[in-house]
Chains A and B, each alone.
Chain A
Amino acid sequence: MLSETRSRLRGRKPKFGVVVFPGSNCDHDAFYALHKVLEYDVNFLWHKDTDLKESDVIILPGGFSYGDYLRTGAIARFSPIMNSVIDFANKGGYVIGICNGFQILLEAGLLPGALLQNISLKFICKDVYLSVENYESNFTKGINDKIVLNLPIAHGDGNYFADENTLKELEANNQIILRYSSKDGNVSNEFNPNGSLKNIAGIINKNGNVLGMMPHPERSCNPILAKTDGSLIFNALVNNIYN
């Protein structure tokens, strides 16, 4: 199914859709990074709509959708737009969930596991280093494999949890894409900011078309801000699916 999606997209102009939920607060950051900095076509997608406006890549942005009431992402998952996003993802469409977007993907069942409250109980806002664990995915293929990504995190509920069988499956299928690490890529508990099992910061689904990650690539795209590692992920995806 993925190869069908890829051949349909080859040579087209990249087209992103950024979903706006009530309480999203990184939707404009995502729009700015993708459109103003990276110069891709981007549309906002309103949570009450069902039309994905022919987007090829859907971004579920960070924030506090529906006030994070009940559980993070639990209510956003039932927004009308999410039925279209779930359908799109199940047909092989590319979806990236960032921070609250990752939480929504887990609640929607598009990715396995759950995100619990940070073990320190603190909201953590800082730059972290991330070891890229799989260079074969469409989100990472082509990124120089010597690099350790430096991206900001900003969350209160980023503590990744899954049962033992799910973890084994994630590892067996190379679904773990990013782990919290030292500056030189050393993955150990010391560099785990939030208590995530196995230092997990980002995973993909089995088919490789849905990515969920706690760090914010959209906040790290503009050279003016000195850090641009986030653009590596967006550009890798564009290169891998359109070229």
Chain B
Amino acid sequence: MYRAKVLIKRRPSILDPQGKAVEIGAQHLGLTNIKNTRIGKYIEFDVDIEDKTEAEKEVSSYCDKLLVNPIMEDYEFTLSEWTPSKEEV
């Protein structure tokens, strides 16, 4: 089994008004060195497949078909081998 960690970012060409609004908060805190705040999404899940290449395919398929909208978002992911503890099964 693998644990997948997917990072979804807005494409660089797309404005992020939420990031801008949050950055105003940073200015108010006096954190004046903070620049270019952009807010994305982090999603994790398990993939119950033994073969890593197959697991990667499954994750790509999930991202391409549902998790990510390629018109406005880019993504990257990592897979790490993972054995669930008894409580988590």
Q: Which residues of A contact B (CB under 8 A)?
A: 70-71, 74-75, 78, 107, 113-114, 116-121, 161-163, 195
B interface size (C-beta, 8 A): 10
5 extra interface residue pairs, beta carbon distance < 8 Å, beyond A117-B18, A161-B71: A74-B66, A75-B66, A116-B14, A118-B17, A161-B72
**A–B Cβ pairs within 8 angstroms, 29 of them:** A70-B66, A70-B67, A71-B69, A74-B66, A74-B69, A75-B66, A78-B66, A107-B69, A114-B69, A114-B71, A114-B72, A116-B14, A116-B15, A116-B72, A117-B17, A117-B18, A118-B17, A119-B15, A119-B17, A120-B17, A121-B17, A121-B18, A121-B21, A161-B14, A161-B71, A161-B72, A162-B71, A163-B71, A195-B17
A117 to chain B, nearest CB (A): 6
User: Considering only CB atoms, which chain B residue lies closest to A72 in the complex?
Assistant: B69
- The distance from the CB of B46 to the nearest CB of chain A, in whole angstroms, is 18
Closest to A77 in B: B66
Question: In the complex, what's the smallest C-beta–C-beta distance from B51 to chain A, in angstroms?
Answer: 26
**Closest CB of chain B to A75's CB: distance in Å?**
8
Residue of A nearest to B10 (CB): A116
**Which B residue's beta carbon lies closest to that of A107?**
B69
Closest to A112 in B: B71
In whole angstroms, how far apart are the Cα atoms of A117 and B73 in the complex?
13
User: Which residues of the partner chain A approach B17 to less than 8 Å between Cβ atoms?
Assistant: 117-121, 195
